[in-house]
Amino acid sequence: MKFKTRLLVTFLTIVFLPLALTAAAFVSIGGYLANAQKEFGIVNINYTMMSSPSETFEKISEEVFKEVKRQIIEDETRLEELTYLQDLNNEIKNRASYLIVRKGDEIYYTGNEVASAKIFKLLPAYGYENESEDSGYYYNSMEKLVKQLDFTFSDGSEGSFFIVTRMHTLISKQLLVDMFIAIVLILIFTSLMLTRFIQRGVFEPVNALNLAMKNIADGNLEYMLNTNNNGEIGELYRNYEDMRLRLKESTDEKFEHEKQNRELISNISHDLKTPITAIKGYVEGIMDGVADTPEKMDKYIKTIYNKANDMDRLINELTVYSGIDSNRVPYHFHRINVADYFGDCVEEVGLELESENIELNYFNLVSPDTVIIADPEQLRRVISNIIGNSAKYMDKEKGVIDIRILDEVDSIRVEIEDNGKGIAAKDLPNVFERFYRTDASRNSSKGGSGIGLSIVKKIVEDHGGYIWATSKEDEGTCLHFVFRKYREMKE
Q: What is the pLDDT of residues 38-48, one digit of tens each?
A: 444 444 444 44
Higher pLDDT, 237 or 365: 365
Element (H, E) at 407: strand 399-408
Q: Are 391 and 476 in contact (CB under 8 A)?
A: no
Instruction: Report pLDDT digits (tens) over 194-251.
Output: 777 777 777 777 788 888 888 888 888 888 877 776 767 777 878 888 888 888 888 8
Higher pLDDT, 45 or 163: 163
Task: Give the CB-side neighbour count of residue 286, counting CA atoms within 13 A.
Answer: 16
Q: Which of 212, 210, 228 is nearest to 220 (CA)?
A: 212
Instruction: Report pLDDT digits (tens) over 274-289.
Output: 788 888 888 988 888 8
Instruction: Give the 3-state secondary structure of residue 201.
Output: helix
Complete DSSP assignment for 135-152: T-EEETTTTEEEEEEEEE
pLDDT band of 365, cuts 50, 70, 90: very high
Task: Determine how β-strand 334-337 pairs with β-strand 106-110.
Answer: unpaired
- Buried (b) or exposed (e) across 18-32, using 16+ Cβ within 10 A? beebeeebbeebbee
Residues in Cβ contact with 163 at an 8 Å cutoff, skipping those fewer than 6 apart:
61, 64, 65, 68, 92, 97, 98, 99, 136, 146, 147
**Whole-Å CA distances, 460 to 385, 390, 457:** 12, 18, 5
Instruction: Report pLDDT digits (tens) over 66-124.
Output: 888 888 888 888 888 999 999 888 888 877 788 999 998 899 999 989 888 888 888 88
Task: Give the CB-side neighbour count of residue 339, counting CA atoms within 13 A.
Answer: 8
Task: Give the CB-side neighbour count of residue 323, counting CA atoms within 13 A.
Answer: 11
pLDDT band of 173, cuts 50, 70, 90: low
* pLDDT score for 398: 87
Higher pLDDT, 19 or 35: 19
Average model confidence (pLDDT) for the chain?
A: 79
Element (H, E) at 162: strand 158-166
- Measure the CA–CA gap between 158 and 320, rounded to whole angstroms: 135
Q: What is the mean pLDDT of residues 125-143?
A: 64
* pLDDT score for 170: 45
* pLDDT score for 32: 63
Q: Are 198 and 60 in contact (CB under 8 A)?
A: no
* pLDDT score for 341: 94
Instruction: Let me know how long the chain is.
Output: 491
Least confident of 240-254, 344-358, 423-437: 423-437
Backbone phi, then psi, for 153, in 5-degree steps?
A: -70, 165
- Measure the CA–CA gap between 53 and 406, rounded to whole angstroms: 107
Q: What is the mean pLDDT of residues 142-163?
A: 87
- Measure the CA–CA gap between 145 and 167, rounded to whole angstroms: 6
Res. 350: pLDDT tops 90: no
* pLDDT score for 172: 56
Q: Tell me, letter by letter, the H, E, C secondary structure of 219-268.
A: CCCCCCCCCCCCCHHHHHHHHHHHHHHHHHHHHHHHHHHHHHHHHHHHHH
Q: Are 18 and 190 in contact (CB under 8 A)?
A: yes
Q: How far apart are the first and last CA of the chain?
A: 55
* pLDDT score for 39: 46
